[in-house]
Amino acid sequence: MLIEGFENARTMDIEFAMAIPDSAFRWAPTDGVRTFSEQVAHAGISNTLFMATPVLGEARPVVGDTAVYLNDREALVAALNGAYDYVISGVMELPAEEFLVETTLFGQTMPKWRVMLQALTHGIWTRGQMVPYFRMNGVAPPRYRAF
């Protein structure tokens, strides 16, 4: 279920990144909020934050140069793919008994499977925040993929 969820999230994040007009890629609806490219990166690349230390007990990987991928659509897609490859391989390689082991995320203790589920729900929340970016630029957002 987790692997399927992360693959689906990857597809949606890439579709979002590819669907926004060039004029809106670095656009933000108001001061103090993320640009569109920052929002997409936040939805997908932040999954490495959830997976690295709390689940795998390792340093967060670098999947690209933010100065590049926040300004270049193809580089953003490559960084998203790198992040999702890292997360999915982590899920696949984690021994079954490790899913129930308690860990800490943002000061809260929970089993590792819950941390991974939180990464998925965080992405859904963040993608929902991107819908106005499309609408305010006269574009319909990509369809929601439930499966």
At 147 the pLDDT is 76
- Listed in sequence order, the residues at least 6 apart from 89 whose beta carbon sits closer than 8 Å to its beta carbon are none
Task: Classify domain 2-135 at the CATH topology level.
Answer: Four Helix Bundle (Hemerythrin (Met), subunit A) (1.20.120)
Give the helix/strand (H/E) hosting 108. strand 108-111
109-139 pLDDT, tens digit per residue, is 999 999 999 999 999 999 999 999 999 999 9
> Where along the chain do its domains lie?
2-135
pTM across the whole model: 0.95
34 pLDDT more than 90: yes
Q: Which of 117, 108, 123, 133 is nearest to 30 (CA)?
A: 133
Q: Provide, rounded to the nearest whole percent, the portion of the chain with pLDDT above 90.
A: 97
